């Protein structure tokens, strides 16, 4: 009986964990032009694949620009959005990325110039720039950068 109770409570905890790690829709409102790159606390960020611009192709150096849209639940319900409900675009920002394959470094243009995006850095350090830069490189060249 003790084993049965342990198994039951383990399954119950796993069920709570799966609800707590809700997923955002991979495509915003089913539109494959908007691909999910990150989500946090009710906000999801999507790259607009139609906005990708190859600004420099000089291997091993590359520069790309891409728009990233932020979205919230269209009806103000995070759980609805997590479960595939409609999203509403709340902002658009253009990100500029520089890639150096020789030094294996990705940088994003910030207010103070180019800033290195450490693949092992915290979310506070890299924000959505790192996954957006990864996705932009993948869309442009068909492979991941890091």
DSSP string of the chain, one letter each residue: -HHHHHHHHHHHHHHHHHHHT----SEETTEEEEEEEEEETTEEEEEEEEEEEEEEEETTEEEEEEEEEEEEETTS-HHHHHTT--EEEEEEEEEEEEEETTTTEEEEEETTEEEE--TTS-HHHHTTHHHHHHHHHHHHHSS---
Give this prediction's pTM.
0.81
pLDDT value of residue 85: 85
Which position has the higher pLDDT, 14 or 64?
Answer: 64
What per-residue confidence (pLDDT) applies to 80?
Answer: 84
Q: What are the pLDDT digits (tens) for 20-76?
A: 445 889 999 999 999 999 998 889 999 999 999 999 999 999 999 999 999 998 888
What are the domain boundaries of the chain?
23-141
């Amino acid at each position: 009986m003790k084993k049965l109770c342990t198994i039951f409570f383990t399954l119950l905890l796993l069920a709570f964990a799966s609800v707590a790690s809700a997923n955002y829709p991979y495509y915003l409102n089913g539109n494959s032009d908007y691909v999910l790159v990150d989500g946090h606390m009710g906000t999801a960020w999507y790259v607009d694949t139609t906005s990708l611009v190859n600004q420099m192709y000089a291997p091993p150096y590359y520069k790309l620009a891409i728009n990233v849209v932020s979205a919230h639940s269209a009806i103000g319900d995070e759980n609805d959005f997590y479960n595939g409900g409609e999203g509403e675009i709340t902002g658009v920002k253009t990100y500029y990325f520089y890639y150096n394959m020789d030094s294996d470094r990705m940088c994003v243009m910030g207010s103070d110039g180019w800033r290195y995006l450490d693949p092992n850095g915290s979310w506070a350090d890299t924000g959505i720039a790192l996954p957006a830069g990864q996705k932009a490189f993948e869309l442009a060249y068909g492979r991941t950068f890091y």
